[in-house]
Amino acid sequence: MSFCSLYPALLVTSPWSCSENHLGSCRKQLMFCVSRRKARRGAWTGVSCSAETRTVVIGLAADSGCGKSTFMRRLTSVLGGVAEPPRGCNAYSNTLVGDATTVICLDDYHALDREERKEKGVTALDPKANNFDLMYEQVRALKSGVAVEKPVYNHVTGRLDPPELIRPPNILFIEGLHPLFDPRIRSLLDLSIYLDISNEVKFAWKIQRDMAERGESLESIKASIKARKSDFDMYIDPQKQYADVIIEVLPTRLIPDKGATEVLRVRLVMKEGVKHFTPVYLFDEGSTISWTPCGGKLSCSYPGIRFFYGPDTYFCDEASVLEMDGKFDRLDELIYVESHLSNLSTKYYGEVTQQMLKHADFPGSNDGTGLLQTIIGLKIRQLCEQIIAGDSSHGLKRKQLRRCLRLSPV
């Protein structure tokens, strides 16, 4: 079994500053923050998201270029609203804010900027290049309903920009290279997810992205992957053992060529016993099933579609696995597959299909990446509702207890 080591990092804080064209907006935020600061000495304070509930925290870990951004777009869509950069002081913010969600990119907790990493000969994957103390303190504060001044890593300049105000949302996503690395941060997560992309698929994706979108050469892409591989194997990949949910993206088994990546086999590994999370199953819970649904109810061009469901173990933990190999020809026919899946946590019949059609232009919408990411979004929605409902129930009980204590005779 793989394991990882913890490297301590120094606490880094930055003063608040902003550009003149946003000074009015910043002054309003700063006045808010200072007034709250006076309320409690010695700690950064802010507003609570609710008097009786706390922020639900979800961690998403993956290497760069593994589809985290697309996954977050699907998740925030399921949870309601559109996540957009916050209105405020920094045009290069990595944060996304929706009606009920906030997405924080953990690149913002780099302790070393691009030049400093180059001078010291370390990559951003190395824990020594990241500030885990500050990361832990700020995630803990947001989970408790307290606003923070979060640093901003500027991906254009490679430097750390002035911090931005983050208020506690109902649901907080922390995504990046290291959300599961530090045990202190893992203890704050209500659910943890790891995107495990095979080397063949990752290489194909990086070529598609970096050559087409960034104009990089094939040689530079290969050199970049090679330079990062040892740190990825040492610091990033071992985090998957701590995840509650793992999405594996692999080359298909439907085509004889083992290196084929134009068709994908995607596995959803769901650990058993995760609080507020019931694994999805196909046909019969606990059985082992292989299903080829192609026919009159589902159009399938070569090489077709194959589903698998069954029990498994993952780093000695019991798990259920749902797998899809192949791709859809018509998304509107996905309702046929959806009707055979259970524990989807949908609000109505056909919600998975509707979500897929809504984002048909997203990468992976015709294969298992889009389908299984959408399903996880629905499961997260239910998990959050159950946690918030439980907190509200406990809050009511606390109110009743306080009322009884006030009415009790002395």
- Tell me the pLDDT band of 48, cut-offs 50, 70 and 90: very low
77: alpha, beta or left? (left if phi > 0; alpha if psi -120 to 50): alpha
Nearest to 266 by CA among 188, 198, 336: 198
3-state SS of the chain is: CCCCCCCCCCCCCCCCCCCHHHHHHHHHHHHHHHHHHCCCCCCCCCCCCCCCCCCEEEEEECCCCCCHHHHHHHHHHHHCCCCECCCCCCCCCCCEECCCEEEEEHHHHECCCHHHHHHHCCCCCCHHHECHHHHHHHHHHHHCCCCEEEEEECCCCCCEEEEEEECCCCEEEEEECCCCCCHHHHCCCCEEEEEEECHHHHHHHHHHHHHHHHCCCHHHHHHHHHHHHHHHHHHHHHHHHHCCEEEEEEECCCCCCCCCCCCEEEEEEEECCCCCCCCCEECCCCCCEEECCCECCECCCCCCEEEEEEEEEECCEEEEEEEEEEECCCHHHHHHHHCCEECCCCCCCCHHHHHHHHCCCCCCCCEHHHHHHHHHHHHHHHHHHHHHHHHHHHHHHHHHHHHHHHHCCC
Within 8 A by CB and 6+ apart from 196, the residues are 62, 240, 246, 247, 248, 249
pLDDT value at residue 395 = 60
Higher pLDDT, 156 or 409: 156
- Phi, psi dihedral angles at 265 (to 5 degrees): -110, 120
- Distance between CA atoms of 316 and 272, rounded to whole angstroms? 11
Residue type, 39: A
Of the listed ranges 167-176, 203-212, 276-285, 316-325, the one predicted with least confidence: 203-212
Which amino acid type is present at position 388?
I
pLDDT greater at residue 347 or residue 38: 347
Query: What is the β-pairing status of strands 245-251 and 191-197?
Result: parallel
Contacts of 42 (CB under 8 A, 6+ apart): none
Give the sign of the dihedral formed by CA 131, CA 135, CA 138, CA 141.
negative
212 pLDDT band, cuts 50/70/90, is low
Residue 323's pLDDT is 98
What is the chain's length?
410
pLDDT over threshold 80, residue 270: yes
Q: What is the average per-residue pLDDT within 173-183?
A: 97
pLDDT computed for residue 87 by the predictor: 75
Q: Which pLDDT belongs to residue 259?
A: 63
More confidently predicted of 77 and 354: 354
What pLDDT, on a 0 to 100 scale, did the predictor assign at position 5? 35
Lowest mean pLDDT among 147-156, 332-341, 382-391: 382-391
306 or 393: whose pLDDT is higher? 306
| For residue 368, pLDDT beyond 50 | yes
78-111 residue pLDDT tens:
888 777 887 766 778 999 998 889 999 999 999 9
Highest mean pLDDT among 79-93, 254-268, 277-291: 277-291
- Tokens 């990559």: give the residue: 123
Q: How far apart are CA 38 and CA 31, in angstroms?
A: 11
